[in-house]
Amino acid sequence: MRNLLSLFDLSTAEMESIFSIAADLKAKLAKGVREPLLQGQVMGLLFEKQSLRTRVSFETGMAQLGGSSLFLGEDVGWGKREAPQDFGRVISQYLDFIVCRAKSHERVIELETHCTCSIINGLTDLFHPCQALADLMTVQEEFGKLKGMKIAYVGDGNNVSRSLALACAKMGAEFAIASPKGYELDQPFLVRVDQACPDAVVQQTNDPFEAVDGAVAVYTDVWASMGQEAEQAKREIDFADYQVNKKLMDAAAKDAIFLHCLPAKRGQEVTDEVMDCKTSRIVEQAGNRMHAQKGVLVWLSQQKG
């Protein structure tokens, strides 16, 4: 049995397998073919945070694969009504997969410790692996390859940029991130990336124009994520020079695509002009959440036994 708590859990070859499965299932779905590869299997969505894309894409993807899903909100009492080991050992008897969207990464690690079914990180404060898989799937569809391609991220060194940096490192893509001072990727994470992927190219800068130079994809996220609402006013000041607008996009490679994990605050981290431009791939990127996650579910099912 395998789990996906972060992309550190996957080798490059395993990521390539997931991409291959996802692309195959996406092509078949476009032709109206829905293979019941997970017929009779059940997925639980254990969520501490609100969600649109993660919940709907996982539920829909599981249904298309012939399985079913259960949304598990606060009413199940995770971490409140009974000991973690009792909760995990009981709930994993019922389920084949648990997708966990938690406020802290430690909560998902603790859940994994006590469960006997596959655990998938649907978002924590440290990592968002399913988002990064969808991101690179989108870039690969657009350009036909990932190796040697440069992807630039403008914004906070958060769970999204951390996962994207690691995904690029695993797949041989260059990654550049531009953040204000104090918001960069943390050094322990960068050391871990270097240990896992010695040939990785990860560039950190405080200059967004330096980061996007030569990039085929420019990516951003909200300046204050869920749980950081109290920092919103300060972050608006600190990130004021990090908006993705036409001037910044023009500094990237010709016809560079724009990516955003959504939801976006239009007029803050990105302008309407960029969100809706002809090279914006935010809709396709969101759609690939479902396809990439179907790839993860099928791949994990193949690792059992």
Say whether 207 is catalytic: no
pTM for this model (two decimals):
0.97
225 marked as part of a ligand binding site = yes
pLDDT at 88: 96
Q: How many CA atoms, within 13 angstroms, populate the side-chain half-sphere of residue 157?
A: 22
**Can you list the domains of the chain with their CATH numbers?**
7-127+289-302 (3.40.50.1370), 129-285 (3.40.50.1370)
pLDDT at 47: 96
Strands 97-101 and 68-72: unpaired
300 marked as part of a ligand binding site = no
Q: How confident is the model at residue 305 (pLDDT cuts 50, 70, 90)?
A: low
For residue 11, count other CB atoms closer than 10 A to its CB: 12
Q: Per this entry, what is the length of the chain? A: 305
| Most distant pair of Cα atoms in the chain: their distance | 56
Q: Which of 96, 107, 117, 128 is catalytic?
A: 128
Q: Does the pLDDT at position 207 exceed 90?
A: yes
Query: What is the arithmetic mean of pLDDT over 137-162?
Result: 98
- CB neighbour list of residue 12: distance below 8 Å, 6 or more residues apart: 170, 171, 172
For residue 274, count other CB atoms closer than 10 A to its CB: 24
Say whether 261 is catalytic: yes
pLDDT at 74: 86
53 marked as part of a ligand binding site = no
Query: What is the arithmetic mean of pLDDT over 105-126?
Result: 97
pLDDT at 226: 73
Query: What is the arithmetic mean of pLDDT over 164-168?
Result: 98
What is the tens place of the pLDDT at every residue in 227-284? 788 899 999 999 999 999 999 999 999 999 999 999 999 999 999 999 999 999 999 9
Q: How confident is the model at residue 220 (pLDDT cuts 50, 70, 90)?
A: very high
What is the tens place of the pLDDT at every residue in 27-48? 999 999 999 999 999 999 999 9
CA distance 35 to 54: 21
CA distance 25 to 31: 10
What is the tens place of the pLDDT at every residue in 272-300? 999 999 999 999 999 999 999 999 999 99
Mean pLDDT of the chain: 97
128 marked as part of a ligand binding site = yes
Which run of H or E residues covers position 18? helix 12-30
Output phi, psi for 29, to 5 deg.
Answer: -60, -40
Express as a percent the part of the chain with pLDDT over 90.
94
Q: Which of 41, 96, 101, 125 is catalytic?
A: 101
* CA distances from residue 55 to 130, 150, 172, 284 in whole angstroms, order as listed: 12, 30, 30, 17
**Three-state secondary-structure class, residue 119:** strand
Output phi, psi for 177, to 5 deg.
Answer: -125, 135
Say whether 101 is catalytic: yes
Q: Which residues of 70-85 are buried (b: 16+ CB within 10 A; e: fewer)?
A: ebbeeebebeeeeeee
